[in-house]
Chain A
Amino acid sequence: MIKVLEGSHAVSEAARLAKVQVIAAYPITPQTHIVEALSQYCSDGTLNARFINVESEHSAMAAVIGAASGGARAFTASSSHGLAYMHELLHWASAARLPIVMAEVNRALGPGWNIWTDQTDSLAQRDTGWIQLYCEDGQEALDTTLQAFRLAEAVNLPVMVVLDAFYLSHTFEPIDVPDQEMVDRFLPPPSPRIRMDTADPCAVNQLVTPAAYMEMRFNTQLAMEEAQRRLVLIEKEFETIFNRTHGLVEATHCEDADIIMVTTGTVTGTCRQVLADLRSQGEKVGLFKLKLFRPFPTDLICRHLKSAPKIAVIDRNISFGAGGIFAQEIRAALCNQDPHPQVFGYVAGLGGRDITPDTLMEIYNNTNNQPAPAEETIWIGLNQETVESWRN
């Protein structure tokens, strides 16, 4: 059924349809609407789940770790400082191989205190062993959340479904909310491989010496690699039931492109318009949407990007002293290809500054006008007056 929902509630609907059994969360803008709706579902009986109120995000993650250790389908959501506060437990969840699903709404970290979108929070957690999926719109957020449970339980790794603050979390769109019966077909009740039981006491996640630690890590790496293959299969099955698919990545007009724009999240939607405009003017431009960031789909990136002379990567994040994180990773993925494209790294839209079609045109033109990137990272839309005032 088509409903007009905000992005946050698309995720809440997915968690409800997934029949999650335990939710533990701590409110933080812009994530709050997600768990607010779920707590309502728990209290009115729409959802038969245990909602655990906690005093912090650290405890929220600890509680879902506990729930998942007992074999429950567990869900949480966070943003920004809340996610950062979870950090050590994010490592724990993945190393303990617990299939937890978390919605993460990208929000800038303070100071300066800022509630608007910025990807640095989720990207700072890229090495915690969580699968990361970046969503473009409300429908994708709902569908991805459903797929996330299937994927997490298939490979025993936690999954982070990532949404841009406000542009996605608080924007109302018509969204197809599937029937429970269809969802049940796609997502059966969990059959957990890790399920602590007081009737059969055991110790888990105790001391692991150097003699076994490395194998344990390699085992997780294999699962991460497998996750990409499983997601392809899951998407196919999803498509047969729901007649929709989103892809791990999406390449539009990349085959003959002179310049390929690489986007994540809601910027992709804006870029689709810019792409159409430029193509109608005869410009050979392509669009590559990166949805799956962990595991990093190096093979797909190489396949779609290697033959273009120039790549323009738009990063709504910054790794200080290095540059945009997506640009770094794409550059690294392509460097062993011969020949390989010139990779232009653009940082734009930090802390919720709008990325408009004009912003993307500026990026396109800059890429078009330079034979090679003049700098590793090009900042777009900086207030030059402010910046100039720092130079003496």
Chain B
Amino acid sequence: MQDPKIDKQLPLFVPHSSISTAVNKTGSWRFFHPKYEEKTAPCIAACPVGQDIPRIEMLAFRGQLKDAWQTILDENPFPAVCGRVCFHPCETACNRANMDDAIAIHHLERFLGDSAITTGSTSELEIKPSTGKKVAIAGAGPAGLAAAYFLTRLGYSCDVFEAASEPGGVLRWGIPAYRLPRDILGQEIRRIENCGVTIKCETPVTGRLLETIHKQYDALFVGCGYGRSIGLKIVGDEFARDGLDFLNSLHREEKMSFNGTAAIIGGGNTAIDVARCLARLGTAPLIVYRRRIQDMPAFEPEIAMAVEEGVRIMQLVVPIRIRETAGNSSSSLPGYELTLQKMKVSKKEISGRARVIPDGEDTATLTVQNIFVAIGAAAAALWQFPDSKESKTLTLSHCAFFEHKMPLIFGGDLTSPIKSVTDAIASGKQAAMAFDTYFKHGMDAIEERLANCRVGAGPALSMDIYLEKDRKNRTAHIVSYDEIVTDYFQTAARSVPSTLDAGQRIRSFTEIESTLDNNAAREEAGRCFNCGICASCDYCRLYCPEMAVKVENARRSINMDFCKGCGVCVTECPRNAMALEEEIK
């Protein structure tokens, strides 16, 4: 029926080839080449210990919680502690804040730290073969413990000498339990001990012990902190109790009862801690501060929470006299009369803070039942820096190194630019690297070696880089928000854990904030841009018009036979983990 002439085939001349197009080496067209070039995320650069935050969040998002936790441990032995007490400058630097809200990095750090504790994870740290050298460490605070932890990993035998009955320093005797439960602290210290660190409590480093150390050890790290309070030095100052001493007694679980009102003199974190603890003990705390509230050195969220808990703040007053008073009627209690000089703001500023001067002769009096002083602290007299004329010295960002009888490093609050727990840990890590370099390459090599371990351009040092692992390949370039291809990210609210309200808080020393749950933590980690690092999103491979991106053992590489240098991979990389370079042929 059908006419065969209709479907008779015509000659068909179309380009067709069964030879693989692989013969066409499009790589010869190239005059730019892409490369995988990991960069530095702003959060890492802002972190005093240089933790690999984008990688930690990437692993947490994938559910590799133990790997994420282990990544923290590479740089910091205290995830559960720092997740609670660090003032998290990482979040201030977070690029995500430009899109919606910064990543809740500290909540995630705490989540990972707590998960490891709850699940009983054991750390799998690489410990270098023994160097045969012994390092003595004075003070089991965050600096001393960090120094011991990192030195142990580098193959040094460490003994920590601690004057108090238990290790932890400020973490145990300073920071109140509502911010850092002691069992969490205990677990993290135990893990450090399990690495092989020996902690000798109730063993203050006296002059005699120092002589023994000189004989039996190869080096000494001093991280004894600011344990000695500065006094008021006014008439009647014997009636004022030392704030640090009060916190110490509280943590020792000494029975203390206070009536009526309490004046706390000072404006730093210790003053806030004392006031908030007193609120929990049933007094009405009143902070007396010489400058204005906005000038207080205490961390802002802490001040806000103190106010919520009923702490009142009296600003621009300086105590000049304390006098004991007897209760003059049945309704008033015996106590003290505090005479205050009123202050006013001078037009001049001193390093950003308002300078205050007496406001004429104007004074005020205050009758309170208790007075506490928290106006600063200093190192114990024993720990004066050696005379620089008698020793070779090296000043580092967080430490001071002296070659004096034996190699000696001062760290922690004694030398850190910022008096924080995380900076203290940073100084312990810096000391470990400095000692190791000293023993292997000499004093003169320290500065350069440490400079090579810097994260970004900042002072933070990375142990991962020191050990020449993956992070050493990252550039110091700090990824900015406009380098993130935000088309790949959707806005999402920051996960916030539940907190007790002020009414619940002041009834006990129960921890205020809770830990994120698994789902919330995963979602939060998924919000992270992972600035500057390869998160294996694969867009480079998917968009490559020449299929020149290879993936082998989860690592990507570019087949230069076919990469024609179009740069699509670099443009599409959501997180700036690639770079395009001109090729000179």
Contact = CB atoms under 8 A, between A and B. Distances in A.
**Is B truly associated with A?**
yes
10 A-B pairs with the lowest CB-CB distances in the bound complex, closest first: A219-B13, A203-B17, A202-B18, A233-B6, A208-B15, A204-B16, A237-B3, A203-B21, A206-B15, A97-B14
B12 A219 contact: yes
A194 B6 contact: no
A223 B13 CA distance: 10
A236 B1 CA distance: 11
Interface residues of B, number: 19
Nearest to A185: B1
Interface in A143-172: 150, 153-156
A207 to B, nearest CB: 8
B10 to A, nearest CB: 6
Contacts of B13: 215-216, 219
Interface in A192-251: 193-194, 200-208, 212, 215-216, 219, 222-223, 226, 230, 233-234, 236-237, 240-241
A96 interface: yes
B12 A97 contact: yes
Contacts of B12: 97, 156, 193-194, 219
Given A156-B10, A236-B3, 18 more contacts: A96-B14, A154-B6, A154-B7, A155-B10, A185-B1, A200-B18, A203-B15, A204-B17, A206-B17, A206-B21, A216-B14, A219-B11, A222-B11, A223-B10, A233-B3, A234-B6, A240-B1, A241-B1
A147 to B, nearest CB: 10
Contacts of B11: 219, 222
Contacts of A193: 9, 12
A73 B116 CA distance: 60
B5 interface: yes
27 contacts: A97-B12, A154-B7, A193-B9, A193-B12, A203-B16, A203-B18, A203-B21, A204-B14, A204-B16, A206-B15, A206-B17, A216-B15, A219-B11, A219-B13, A222-B10, A222-B11, A223-B10, A226-B10, A230-B6, A233-B3, A233-B5, A234-B6, A236-B3, A237-B1, A237-B2, A237-B3, A241-B1
A9 B15 CA distance: 37
Most buried by A among B1, B9, B15: B15
Interface of B: 1-3, 5-7, 9-21
Q: How many A residues touch the partner, as a band?
A: 35 or more
Contacts of B15: 203-208, 212, 216
B5 to A, nearest CB: 6
Contacts of B7: 153-154
A97 to B, nearest CB: 5
A80 B12 CA distance: 31
Contacts of B21: 203, 206
A187 B13 CA distance: 25
A359 B1 CA distance: 46
Nearest to B18: A202
A95 B6 CA distance: 21
Interface in A75-114: 95-97
Contacts of A154: 6-7
B67 to A, nearest CB: 38
Contacts of A222: 10-11
B541 to A, nearest CB: 19
A96 B1 CA distance: 31
Contacts of B10: 155-156, 222-223, 226
Contacts of A97: 12, 14
B6 A205 contact: no
Contacts of A153: 7
A202 B16 contact: yes
A155 B10 CA distance: 7
A232 to B, nearest CB: 10
A316 B15 CA distance: 38
A47 B19 CA distance: 38
A205 B18 contact: no
A313 B551 CA distance: 65
A205 B14 contact: yes
A150 B6 contact: yes
Contacts of A96: 14
Contacts of A208: 15
Contacts of A194: 12, 14
A65 to B, nearest CB: 13
Contacts of A236: 3
B9 to A, nearest CB: 7
A241 B13 CA distance: 33
A222 B2 CA distance: 23
B555 to A, nearest CB: 27
A237 B12 CA distance: 24
Nearest to B2: A237
Nearest to B9: A193
Given A150-B6, A154-B6, A237-B3, A202 B17 contact: yes
